[in-house]
Amino acid sequence: MKPDKRGGSAAVSGGGIKRPRGKFVGREPQPSHKKADDSRTAALLALSSVPLIMTLGNSMLIPVLPAIETALGITPLQASLIITVYSVMAIILIPIAGYLSDRIGRKKVIIPSLILAGAGGAVCGWAGSLQPGGYGIILAGRVLQGIGAAGAMPIVLPLVGDMFRSEQQVSAGLGLIETSNTFGKVLSPILGSALALLAWQAPFWSVPILCALSIILVLFLVKVPPKQGEEAAAPPPPGKFLSGVWNLYRSKAGWLTALFVVGCFSMFILFGLLFYLSETLEKSHHMKGILKGLVLAIPLAVLCAASYAAGKWIGEHKKVMKWTVTGGFLLCAASIAACLFWEATSIRIALLSGAGLGIGAGLPCLDAFITEGIDKEERGTISSLYSSMRFIGVAAGPPVASLLMKQSAPLLLGVMASVAAAAFILALAGIRPRNDKG
């Protein structure tokens, strides 16, 4: 049936064409389309729980690190390793998880990974009761949690690309995923500080509970679209597949390398500055608990709002994405550099919020370039390499910030501003969309 120009439908009966008219003519497909849209929306919300919970499981420890230092008798550098070992395991295993998701399916990787992440959180919570001898076991639990994170959060990006055909829908979906990720960062300092009022181990114990919730949502609400055409064929042997991925990377090395490094720099800046702000608020301003969490959440809330707005705004326009990324990192570099001239905490928080605005606007654009620029067969592997680079930034940020802070805060801010400026230059030179929609 084809809709006529007046909104009716053309029904063929015998040799003639009848054009029935009426209030509801031509609207029969709407309920099924609405049902499909509702199903996809529910699936997208379920998938959004994965980055939200994985982010909470890591970032909500940042405001608790000083309390962990005191309870376990460890140094700030040792405490920062609790963040770092999680990220290191994710860095190593994310490409493997992406490869497996391309071969055996996205959900078959995500669900077991969430189970592992929950188990790792439980190990950390139990080890906390062994203080002061539990530090090593906590690191082991964080390793297990990192293994789970490797197969959960990064696989969401290619799955969103699988679910939608329109690039505009993919961009909007990725904007929601990135918003969920950044909202987790907003909620993390508040929730982490609130849970720490019960016990400093409480944030660890919350991880298995949150993972169980996400498992239920993904299991029942996410329906992976069936493979069609060439996608339905048996996957190539590992050697041939990896050779194809390598050839793909070489053919797109310029812009892919730029995106990988810019993604890494964005997380390095973000987690380095969060560590700096957390330590400064507690040790210089004696700010603790929920109040400290609320202050930490200010720049993160700006980052979250920017991610959501950018995901809605960019659509499928590649040139808009490029200038959003470059403009965002220029703003980030300028905001951090301005902190060198104003020492007042309130002004620095406002300036760091400007940096958060720049990073937040750029993140959905980076996601969209990766997801929309790679075919479905290799999408999981390539997007996982991108996620690995982001985790390198997460892993390096806190310990580097700790070492630089031992010298001086201006040195830390100068390094972070320089990294943001490097990201701006790299995005400007390396991201070159051939046209506005490709």
First to last CA, the chain: 33
Tell me the two tokens of residue 401: 């910030």
CATH (domain of 177): 1.20.1250.20
Residues paired with residue 2 on neighbouring β-strands, in sequence order: 10
Q: Is residue 124 part of a domain?
A: yes
Report CA-CA distances (Å) from 195 to 198, 205, 248, 288: 5, 10, 46, 12
Identify the weakest region by mean pLDDT among 19-23, 176-180, 234-238, 275-279: 19-23
Give the model confidence (pLDDT) of 67-79 as tens digits.
Answer: 888 888 888 888 8
Is residue 236 domain-resident? Answer: no
Q: How many domains does the chain have?
A: 1
Q: Is the pTM of this model over 0.75?
A: no
Domain carrying residue 214: 46-221+241-430
Q: What is the pLDDT of residues 363-407, one digit of tens each?
A: 888 888 877 766 666 677 777 788 888 888 988 888 899 899 988
Mean of the per-residue pLDDT values of the chain: 82
Band (pLDDT 50/70/90 cuts) for residue 422 is: very high
Query: Which of the pair, 307 or 169, is modelled with greater confidence?
Result: 307
Contacts of 150 (CB under 8 A, 6+ apart): 89, 90, 92, 93, 94, 96, 97, 113
Angle between helices 76-104 and 30-59 (to 10 degrees): 150
Any domain includes 26: no
CA distances (Å), origin 316, targets 279, 294, 358, 372, 389: 40, 35, 20, 9, 24
| Enclosing H/E stretch for 382 | helix 376-407
Residue 13 lies in a domain: no
User: What is the per-residue pLDDT across 111-156, written as a single tens digit (0 to 9) for each?
Assistant: 999 999 999 999 999 998 876 778 999 999 999 999 998 888 778 8
**Could you tell me if residue 275 is inside a domain?**
yes
In a domain, 390, yes or no: yes
The percentage of the chain sitting over the pLDDT mark of 90, rounded to a whole number, equals 28
In-domain check, residue 7: no
| Sign of the dihedral through C-alpha 397, 358, 43, 213 | positive
Does the residue 30 lie in any domain? no
